[in-house]
Structure formats: C-alpha cells, structure tokens
Amino acid sequence: MKIISGTAHRALAEKIAETLGQPLADVQVDAFPDGETAVKINENVRGEDVFIIQPSCPPTNHNIMELLILVDAARRASAERITAVMPFFGYARQDRKDQPRVPITAKLVANLLTSAGVNRVLTMDLHAPQIQGFFDIPVDHLYAKPVLIGYLRERHPDTSNLTVVSPDVGGVKMARAYADALGAELAIVAKHRISATRVEAMNVIGDVKDRDVLLVDDMTETAGTLVSAADILHKHGAKRIFAGVSHAIIGEMAHDRLKTSKIEELITTDSVPQAFGPKIQAVSIAPLMGEAIRRINGGQSVTSLFSV
C-alpha cells in the first residue's frame, strides 16, 4: 500500500496515514512559473495499491487538476490499483440539468477521474448520493454520521429535550437518521432560496418551543441556510441551537454570519481544511477513512462503515 497526499489537505492525509501506521509516500508537488502543476513520485509504486488523498475543496479546479495529474503519474509508474480518496467531492451540487443549456459537472468530473486512470473512489456524504451512479468504477460512499453522533453523545449526553431539524425539505432523510440515532424529535424548516448566497426561511414544521435544537445538513459554504433557519427557530421559541454538517467549506462570509447568529456551535468534520474558526468544532474523520482504506486494501467488506 502507498498513501499519497496532494496539497489540498495534507494535515488530514497525515492523520489517515498515522491511523494506518504508514508513512506518506515521498511525492513532490510544485508549480511551474506559468502556474502549471508539476508532480514527481520519488519512490517505487510499481504493482502497489495506491491511495491518493485529495478533497476537491477550494481552490476546487486547482485541486481536481492536481489529483488528475497525481493519478496519471501513478498510472504511468505502473501502480496496480489507484483509489482516489476524496473526503469532499466538489461539483456534487451540479448533478442535473435544472435549467436550459447548463452542464452536469458532477458527471464530467466522474468521467475525468475514470479517464485519468482511477480504479476506485472513496468519498463521504455526497450532496446527492445518486452521483455514485455517474461512475463506471466502484464508489465507496461513507457517512459522517457515526463520527458526528459520537461527538454529540459525548458533548450533549442528555437528548431528552433535543429536536433534530432539517433546514430544508430535501434534507429530511438525513435529519431523520440523526433523530433516530439520538432518540430525538424531528422538525423541518421550509425555506425559499433567493440566490446562491441568500436564503429566506419561511416556516417551521414541528414543535421546537423550549427545546434544544440540532440543525443537520450535508454541507455549508456561506452558512445562509443554517443562519436563516436558526433565526426562525429562535423566533419559534428554541432554547439552544446547534448545527451539524458533514462538510464546512467556510469562507469569510460564513464566518461573519456565524459570529452574529443564534447558533452556539457548528459541529463538522475535518474533511476540508476550511473547517475551523470561532463557534466551529471539527471532529476528525481520519480513523473512519483509515479503516476504509485498510479494508479496501485487504479485500474486506466495508459495508459496516456505511452506517447511515
């Protein structure tokens, strides 16, 4: 087995390698003066099972291109099998034609990975699970829920007064899974999206008065959905408001919103390096990803890691 890290999230790659008791492979990733990416693998990978860890987080296009170049280098060095380990899969929201003359970019990225020489993909909490079907190669789709639930049970052991809330109708299935695991009630915020950065929350379906609330979602970038939902939940009498998301690609706008929001704590994973800052608690997925890599390498079942 060889573990290779791109530059997207080396800290996570080092943690994963540590859980596996493996050193990261010696790989040189540089840029030419004109901005082109230069890659060189400085050790033998012939006949090896190669795992390349590279979430496609911002700068998204750069990180995807770097991943493709790393894959090409490993393939041309005669690696036996190449697995793209993408804890966060970018472009996942562009998964269908919802307007005339727009691309299905998630499918394009799947094609690019396959064409470059990827034999398998390991990812976590895709925005749309059906994206697995965009690939003609095996996709192991893990869930952050076991990791986040473990932290929540430790941090908030008393769930008798907890309601899990989906910030939109589309996230009800995920919210129901969290509610069942925590033994909590379920509620929904019906929202109306105005633009990519503005969300107008409309109403609450369910009882949140005098209850602690956990908002759950698969990802957040601007925190618009979460903050709007938190505002309306506060107006409906929610006592304490927390949020749990799988991927927190937090930018400056999101940090500003979270600082002044009703959300006490945003619980997330370290799937991307942007998951840090005030009110943000990142729980590591390195043990989960490391165990999945160990089982893939050993030809063992990873089904038990698919816990929803």
For the chain, give every domain's residue range.
2-142+286-303, 145-283
- Rounded distance between C-alpha atoms, residue 290 and residue 24, angstroms: 13
Token digits of residue 94: 């562009």
Token digits of residue 117: 């020489």
Domain 2-142+286-303 has CATH 1.10.10.60: no
- Rounded distance between C-alpha atoms, residue 223 and residue 248, angstroms: 9
- Rounded distance between C-alpha atoms, residue 188 and residue 41, angstroms: 49
pLDDT of residue 191: 66
Residues 6+ apart with CB under 8 A from 67: 6, 8, 52, 54, 56, 84, 86, 113
Catalytic residue numbers, as ranges: 191
Which phi and psi angles does 270 have, rounded to 5°? -95, 35
Domains 2-142+286-303 and 145-283 are alike in CATH topology: yes
Alpha helices in the chain (DSSP H): 10-20, 60-76, 105-116, 145-155, 172-182, 224-235, 252-259, 286-298
Q: What is the CATH number of domain 145-283?
A: 3.40.50.2020
pLDDT of residue 305: 83
| Residue in the structure block whose two tokens are 């930018």 | 251
Name the stretches of the chain with pLDDT < 70. Answer: 191-202, 307-308
Predicted model pTM: 0.92
- Rounded distance between C-alpha atoms, residue 248 and residue 268, angstroms: 6
DSSP label at 227?
Answer: H
- Rounded distance between C-alpha atoms, residue 242 and residue 182, angstroms: 14
- Rounded distance between C-alpha atoms, residue 291 and residue 303, angstroms: 12
